[in-house]
Protein backbone atom coordinates (compact mmCIF):
# COMPACT_ATOMS: atom_id res chain seq x y z
CA UNK A 1 0.00 0.00 0.00
CA UNK A 2 1.65 3.27 -1.13
CA UNK A 3 2.01 6.34 1.08
CA UNK A 4 -0.94 8.25 -0.50
CA UNK A 5 -3.24 5.27 0.05
CA UNK A 6 -1.98 4.91 3.62
CA UNK A 7 -2.68 8.56 4.25
CA UNK A 8 -6.20 8.26 2.87
CA UNK A 9 -6.79 5.10 4.91
CA UNK A 10 -5.57 6.76 8.11
CA UNK A 11 -7.74 9.83 7.49
CA UNK A 12 -10.79 7.66 6.84
CA UNK A 13 -10.05 5.67 9.95
CA UNK A 14 -9.77 8.85 12.02
CA UNK A 15 -13.16 9.99 10.74
CA UNK A 16 -14.61 6.57 11.54
CA UNK A 17 -13.27 6.69 15.06
CA UNK A 18 -14.89 10.05 15.61
CA UNK A 19 -18.19 8.92 14.13
CA UNK A 20 -18.43 5.70 16.13
CA UNK A 21 -17.02 6.40 19.60
CA UNK A 22 -18.66 3.47 21.37
CA UNK A 23 -16.46 0.72 19.97
CA UNK A 24 -13.82 2.51 17.93
CA UNK A 25 -10.70 1.41 19.77
CA UNK A 26 -9.24 -1.98 20.70
CA UNK A 27 -12.35 -3.91 19.63
CA UNK A 28 -10.29 -6.21 17.38
CA UNK A 29 -7.96 -7.25 20.20
CA UNK A 30 -7.64 -11.03 20.60
CA UNK A 31 -4.85 -13.29 21.82
CA UNK A 32 -4.56 -16.97 20.89
CA UNK A 33 -5.85 -19.10 18.06
CA UNK A 34 -7.69 -21.58 20.27
CA UNK A 35 -10.08 -19.02 21.74
CA UNK A 36 -10.68 -17.47 18.32
CA UNK A 37 -11.41 -20.85 16.70
CA UNK A 38 -13.95 -21.59 19.45
CA UNK A 39 -16.00 -18.58 18.42
CA UNK A 40 -14.60 -16.29 21.14
CA UNK A 41 -16.61 -18.31 23.70
CA UNK A 42 -13.70 -19.95 25.59
CA UNK A 43 -13.64 -17.71 28.69
CA UNK A 44 -14.38 -20.67 30.98
CA UNK A 45 -11.98 -23.17 29.42
CA UNK A 46 -8.63 -21.44 28.77
CA UNK A 47 -6.07 -22.04 31.52
CA UNK A 48 -2.79 -21.24 29.78
CA UNK A 49 -0.92 -17.95 29.75
CA UNK A 50 -3.39 -16.38 27.27
CA UNK A 51 -6.03 -16.45 30.02
CA UNK A 52 -4.70 -13.00 30.91
CA UNK A 53 -6.72 -11.80 27.91
CA UNK A 54 -9.69 -14.20 27.88
CA UNK A 55 -10.34 -14.45 31.63
CA UNK A 56 -7.52 -13.62 34.07
CA UNK A 57 -9.10 -15.91 36.69
CA UNK A 58 -7.95 -18.84 34.49
CA UNK A 59 -4.35 -18.01 35.42
CA UNK A 60 -5.05 -19.65 38.79
CA UNK A 61 -4.41 -22.97 36.98
CA UNK A 62 -1.29 -21.86 35.11
CA UNK A 63 1.17 -24.78 35.08
CA UNK A 64 4.79 -23.69 34.98
CA UNK A 65 6.50 -20.98 32.99
CA UNK A 66 5.06 -20.43 29.51
CA UNK A 67 6.07 -18.29 26.53
CA UNK A 68 3.48 -17.49 23.87
CA UNK A 69 3.56 -15.75 20.47
CA UNK A 70 0.67 -14.95 18.14
CA UNK A 71 0.32 -13.49 14.63
CA UNK A 72 -2.82 -12.60 12.67
CA UNK A 73 -3.45 -11.25 9.18
CA UNK A 74 -6.85 -9.51 9.43
CA UNK A 75 -9.00 -9.72 6.31
CA UNK A 76 -6.00 -10.05 3.99
CA UNK A 77 -5.31 -6.29 4.03
CA UNK A 78 -1.62 -5.99 2.95
CA UNK A 79 -0.51 -3.42 5.56
CA UNK A 80 -2.84 -4.44 8.41
CA UNK A 81 -1.23 -6.76 10.97
CA UNK A 82 -1.95 -8.04 14.47
CA UNK A 83 0.31 -9.86 16.90
CA UNK A 84 0.97 -10.61 20.56
CA UNK A 85 3.69 -11.89 22.87
CA UNK A 86 3.00 -13.17 26.41
CA UNK A 87 5.10 -14.71 29.18
CA UNK A 88 3.74 -16.12 32.43
CA UNK A 89 4.62 -18.06 35.56
CA UNK A 90 2.89 -19.21 38.77
CA UNK A 91 4.33 -17.64 41.92
CA UNK A 92 3.08 -17.19 45.51
CA UNK A 93 -0.07 -19.19 44.82
CA UNK A 94 -0.96 -16.89 41.90
CA UNK A 95 -0.60 -17.19 38.14
CA UNK A 96 1.06 -14.14 36.56
CA UNK A 97 1.28 -13.01 32.93
CA UNK A 98 2.93 -10.09 31.17
CA UNK A 99 1.77 -9.39 27.62
CA UNK A 100 2.03 -7.08 24.63
CA UNK A 101 -0.48 -6.84 21.77
CA UNK A 102 -0.39 -4.68 18.64
CA UNK A 103 -2.89 -4.00 15.87
CA UNK A 104 -1.37 -1.72 13.27
CA UNK A 105 -1.53 -0.29 9.77
CA UNK A 106 2.05 -0.02 8.53
CA UNK A 107 3.18 3.60 8.39
CA UNK A 108 -0.20 4.98 9.44
CA UNK A 109 -1.79 3.80 12.69
CA UNK A 110 -1.23 1.48 15.66
CA UNK A 111 -2.98 0.27 18.81
CA UNK A 112 -0.64 -1.12 21.48
CA UNK A 113 -1.65 -2.81 24.72
CA UNK A 114 0.81 -3.66 27.50
CA UNK A 115 -0.83 -5.84 30.14
CA UNK A 116 -0.10 -7.31 33.56
CA UNK A 117 -2.43 -10.11 34.68
CA UNK A 118 -2.86 -12.17 37.84
CA UNK A 119 -5.28 -14.93 38.86
CA UNK A 120 -5.61 -17.13 41.94
CA UNK A 121 -8.01 -19.38 43.79
CA UNK A 122 -9.99 -17.33 46.30
CA UNK A 123 -12.34 -19.93 47.79
CA UNK A 124 -12.75 -23.69 48.05
CA UNK A 125 -16.51 -24.09 48.23
CA UNK A 126 -16.39 -27.82 49.02
CA UNK A 127 -17.71 -30.87 47.17
CA UNK A 128 -15.50 -30.13 44.18
CA UNK A 129 -16.53 -26.50 43.76
CA UNK A 130 -13.84 -23.83 43.50
CA UNK A 131 -13.88 -20.09 42.83
CA UNK A 132 -10.96 -18.22 41.27
CA UNK A 133 -10.59 -14.51 40.57
CA UNK A 134 -8.25 -12.46 38.46
CA UNK A 135 -7.53 -9.03 37.02
CA UNK A 136 -5.64 -7.54 34.08
CA UNK A 137 -4.31 -3.99 34.06
CA UNK A 138 -3.88 -2.66 30.52
CA UNK A 139 -1.78 0.29 29.39
CA UNK A 140 -3.34 1.21 26.04
CA UNK A 141 -1.84 3.52 23.46
CA UNK A 142 -3.39 4.73 20.19
CA UNK A 143 -1.12 6.52 17.73
CA UNK A 144 -1.22 7.97 14.21
CA UNK A 145 1.80 8.51 11.99
CA UNK A 146 1.99 12.02 10.47
CA UNK A 147 1.07 12.10 6.77
CA UNK A 148 0.59 14.55 3.91
CA UNK A 149 -2.81 15.32 2.38
CA UNK A 150 -3.63 17.38 -0.68
CA UNK A 151 -5.89 20.41 -0.17
CA UNK A 152 -7.99 20.23 -3.33
CA UNK A 153 -10.60 22.76 -2.13
CA UNK A 154 -8.37 25.84 -1.88
CA UNK A 155 -4.74 26.21 -2.94
CA UNK A 156 -4.13 22.66 -4.04
CA UNK A 157 -1.07 22.54 -1.80
CA UNK A 158 -0.21 19.54 0.36
CA UNK A 159 -0.57 19.84 4.11
CA UNK A 160 0.83 17.81 6.98
CA UNK A 161 -1.62 16.07 9.31
CA UNK A 162 -0.45 14.80 12.69
CA UNK A 163 -3.01 13.35 15.12
CA UNK A 164 -0.24 12.20 17.46
CA UNK A 165 -0.78 9.54 20.09
CA UNK A 166 -2.65 9.11 23.37
CA UNK A 167 -2.17 6.63 26.21
CA UNK A 168 -4.66 5.53 28.86
CA UNK A 169 -5.00 2.82 31.49
CA UNK A 170 -7.80 0.28 31.73
CA UNK A 171 -8.75 -2.76 33.79
CA UNK A 172 -10.39 -6.14 33.22
CA UNK A 173 -11.65 -8.42 36.00
CA UNK A 174 -12.78 -12.05 35.92
CA UNK A 175 -14.28 -14.88 37.95
CA UNK A 176 -14.11 -18.62 37.25
CA UNK A 177 -16.32 -21.15 39.03
CA UNK A 178 -15.09 -24.73 38.61
CA UNK A 179 -17.73 -27.36 39.38
CA UNK A 180 -17.66 -31.16 39.81
CA UNK A 181 -20.30 -31.54 37.09
CA UNK A 182 -17.84 -31.12 34.17
CA UNK A 183 -19.25 -27.59 33.74
CA UNK A 184 -17.23 -24.43 34.43
CA UNK A 185 -18.75 -20.93 34.51
CA UNK A 186 -17.03 -17.58 33.92
CA UNK A 187 -17.68 -13.85 34.14
CA UNK A 188 -15.44 -11.11 32.76
CA UNK A 189 -15.86 -7.35 33.03
CA UNK A 190 -13.85 -5.54 30.38
CA UNK A 191 -12.51 -1.98 30.47
CA UNK A 192 -13.86 -1.07 33.87
CA UNK A 193 -12.06 2.30 33.67
CA UNK A 194 -13.62 3.17 30.28
CA UNK A 195 -10.61 4.97 28.75
CA UNK A 196 -11.45 7.93 26.52
CA UNK A 197 -9.50 9.04 23.44
CA UNK A 198 -10.04 12.20 21.39
CA UNK A 199 -7.85 13.06 18.40
CA UNK A 200 -10.12 15.48 16.52
CA UNK A 201 -11.00 18.51 18.61
CA UNK A 202 -14.72 18.94 19.21
CA UNK A 203 -15.59 15.47 17.92
CA UNK A 204 -16.31 14.05 21.38
CA UNK A 205 -13.69 11.39 20.79
CA UNK A 206 -14.13 7.70 21.45
CA UNK A 207 -14.67 5.82 24.69
CA UNK A 208 -13.89 2.15 25.19
CA UNK A 209 -17.05 1.16 27.11
CA UNK A 210 -17.34 -1.22 30.03
CA UNK A 211 -18.67 -4.59 28.84
CA UNK A 212 -19.88 -7.76 30.56
CA UNK A 213 -19.20 -11.26 29.30
CA UNK A 214 -20.41 -14.59 30.68
CA UNK A 215 -19.50 -18.06 29.43
CA UNK A 216 -19.80 -21.77 30.18
CA UNK A 217 -17.66 -24.76 29.26
CA UNK A 218 -19.01 -28.31 29.20
CA UNK A 219 -16.46 -31.14 29.12
CA UNK A 220 -18.67 -33.58 27.26
CA UNK A 221 -16.01 -36.26 27.70
CA UNK A 222 -12.22 -36.40 27.80
CA UNK A 223 -11.98 -35.63 24.09
CA UNK A 224 -14.83 -33.15 23.60
CA UNK A 225 -15.61 -29.69 24.94
CA UNK A 226 -18.60 -27.45 24.24
CA UNK A 227 -18.33 -23.72 24.92
CA UNK A 228 -20.96 -20.98 24.95
CA UNK A 229 -20.76 -17.28 25.71
CA UNK A 230 -22.73 -14.06 25.83
CA UNK A 231 -21.08 -10.67 25.62
CA UNK A 232 -21.88 -7.00 25.29
CA UNK A 233 -20.51 -5.66 22.03
CA UNK A 234 -21.18 -2.13 23.26
CA UNK A 235 -23.89 -0.47 25.33
CA UNK A 236 -26.62 -1.37 22.85
CA UNK A 237 -25.64 -4.64 21.14
CA UNK A 238 -24.94 -8.11 22.47
CA UNK A 239 -23.32 -11.19 20.98
CA UNK A 240 -23.98 -14.92 21.39
CA UNK A 241 -20.98 -17.18 20.68
CA UNK A 242 -20.65 -20.97 20.47
CA UNK A 243 -17.70 -23.33 20.11
CA UNK A 244 -16.83 -27.03 19.89
CA UNK A 245 -13.50 -28.83 20.26
CA UNK A 246 -12.55 -32.48 19.65
CA UNK A 247 -9.18 -33.98 20.64
CA UNK A 248 -7.58 -36.93 18.85
CA UNK A 249 -5.04 -39.17 20.62
CA UNK A 250 -3.81 -36.27 22.79
CA UNK A 251 -1.83 -34.84 19.88
CA UNK A 252 -4.34 -33.12 17.59
CA UNK A 253 -7.48 -31.00 17.96
CA UNK A 254 -10.07 -29.59 15.60
CA UNK A 255 -12.29 -26.65 16.55
CA UNK A 256 -15.24 -24.76 15.18
CA UNK A 257 -17.45 -21.92 16.30
CA UNK A 258 -20.16 -19.40 15.53
CA UNK A 259 -19.90 -15.80 16.59
CA UNK A 260 -21.31 -12.39 15.80
CA UNK A 261 -18.16 -10.57 16.84
CA UNK A 262 -18.18 -7.03 15.46
CA UNK A 263 -15.68 -6.11 12.75
CA UNK A 264 -13.32 -3.17 12.93
CA UNK A 265 -15.96 -0.70 11.74
CA UNK A 266 -19.12 -0.61 13.86
CA UNK A 267 -21.39 0.18 10.89
CA UNK A 268 -20.17 -2.74 8.74
CA UNK A 269 -22.62 -5.63 8.96
CA UNK A 270 -25.29 -6.38 11.51
CA UNK A 271 -24.67 -7.69 15.06
CA UNK A 272 -27.36 -10.29 14.33
CA UNK A 273 -25.27 -11.86 11.56
CA UNK A 274 -23.31 -14.90 12.69
CA UNK A 275 -19.71 -15.31 11.58
CA UNK A 276 -17.96 -18.67 11.28
CA UNK A 277 -14.69 -19.64 12.94
CA UNK A 278 -12.58 -22.75 12.86
CA UNK A 279 -9.11 -24.10 13.39
CA UNK A 280 -6.86 -26.88 14.57
CA UNK A 281 -4.05 -27.52 17.02
CA UNK A 282 -1.06 -29.84 17.30
CA UNK A 283 0.46 -30.43 20.72
CA UNK A 284 3.04 -32.62 22.43
CA UNK A 285 4.60 -32.51 25.91
CA UNK A 286 3.22 -29.05 26.60
CA UNK A 287 4.20 -27.54 23.23
CA UNK A 288 1.26 -26.16 21.23
CA UNK A 289 0.94 -24.92 17.66
CA UNK A 290 -2.56 -23.64 16.88
CA UNK A 291 -4.15 -22.05 13.82
CA UNK A 292 -7.51 -20.36 13.35
CA UNK A 293 -9.58 -18.62 10.72
CA UNK A 294 -12.60 -16.42 11.24
CA UNK A 295 -14.78 -14.92 8.57
CA UNK A 296 -16.69 -11.71 8.10
CA UNK A 297 -19.43 -11.39 5.52
CA UNK A 298 -18.26 -7.95 4.38
CA UNK A 299 -14.49 -7.97 5.03
CA UNK A 300 -13.53 -11.57 4.26
CA UNK A 301 -11.36 -14.01 6.23
CA UNK A 302 -8.67 -13.49 8.86
CA UNK A 303 -5.96 -16.06 9.59
CA UNK A 304 -4.12 -16.55 12.88
CA UNK A 305 -1.30 -18.81 14.07
CA UNK A 306 -0.05 -19.23 17.67
CA UNK A 307 2.83 -20.99 19.38
CA UNK A 308 3.06 -21.83 23.10
CA UNK A 309 6.29 -23.13 24.63
CA UNK A 310 6.59 -24.44 28.22
CA UNK A 311 9.76 -23.83 30.18
CA UNK A 312 10.36 -26.53 32.77
CA UNK A 313 6.84 -27.97 33.07
CA UNK A 314 3.99 -29.05 30.84
CA UNK A 315 1.52 -26.36 29.84
CA UNK A 316 -2.06 -26.55 31.05
CA UNK A 317 -4.81 -26.58 28.48
| Beta carbons within 10 angstroms of residue 205's beta carbon | 17
3-state percent helix, strand, coil for the chain, nearest multiple of 5: 10, 55, 35
SS3 label, residue 75: helix
Which pLDDT does position 271 carry in this prediction? 53
CA–CA separation, 281 and 206 (whole Å): 37
Which pLDDT does position 119 carry in this prediction? 98
CA–CA separation, 142 and 108 (whole Å): 11
Which pLDDT does position 151 carry in this prediction? 56
For residue 229, list its beta bridge partners. 215, 241
Q: What's 76's DSSP letter? A: G
Question: How would CATH label the architecture of 3-152+171-311?
Answer: Beta Barrel (2.40)
Report the Cα–Cα distance between both ends of the chain, in Å, rounded. 39
Residues 244/218, Cβ–Cβ less than 8 Å: no
- The percent of residues above 90 in pLDDT, for the chain, comes to 55
How is the chain split into domains, by residue range? 3-152+171-311
Q: Which residues of the chain, if any, have pLDDT below 50?
A: 1-5, 7-8, 10-23, 152, 263-268, 315
Residues 99/52, Cβ–Cβ less than 8 Å: yes
Which pLDDT does position 224 carry in this prediction? 95
Q: What is the pLDDT of residues 41-91, one digit of tens each?
A: 999 999 999 999 999 999 999 989 999 999 998 888 888 899 999 999 999
Which pLDDT does position 263 carry in this prediction? 45
Average predicted confidence (pLDDT) for the chain: 84
Q: Which among 129, 62, 73 has a CA at the least distance from the CA of 294? A: 73
Strand ranges (E), 109-251: 109-126, 129-144, 147-150, 158-161, 165-178, 183-190, 196-197, 206-207, 211-221, 224-232, 238-248
Which pLDDT does position 83 carry in this prediction? 95
Which pLDDT does position 106 carry in this prediction? 83
Amino acid sequence: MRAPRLAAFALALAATLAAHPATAYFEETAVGSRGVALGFSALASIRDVTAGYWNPAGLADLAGTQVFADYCKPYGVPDLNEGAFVVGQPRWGTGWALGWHRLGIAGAYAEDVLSVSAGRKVSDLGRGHRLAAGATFKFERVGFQPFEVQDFWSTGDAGRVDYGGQSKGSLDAGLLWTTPWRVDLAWVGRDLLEPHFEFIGGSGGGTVPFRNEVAASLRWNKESTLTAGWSQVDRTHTSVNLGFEILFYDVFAIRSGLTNLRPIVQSAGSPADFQYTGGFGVFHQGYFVDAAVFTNRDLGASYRVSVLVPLGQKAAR
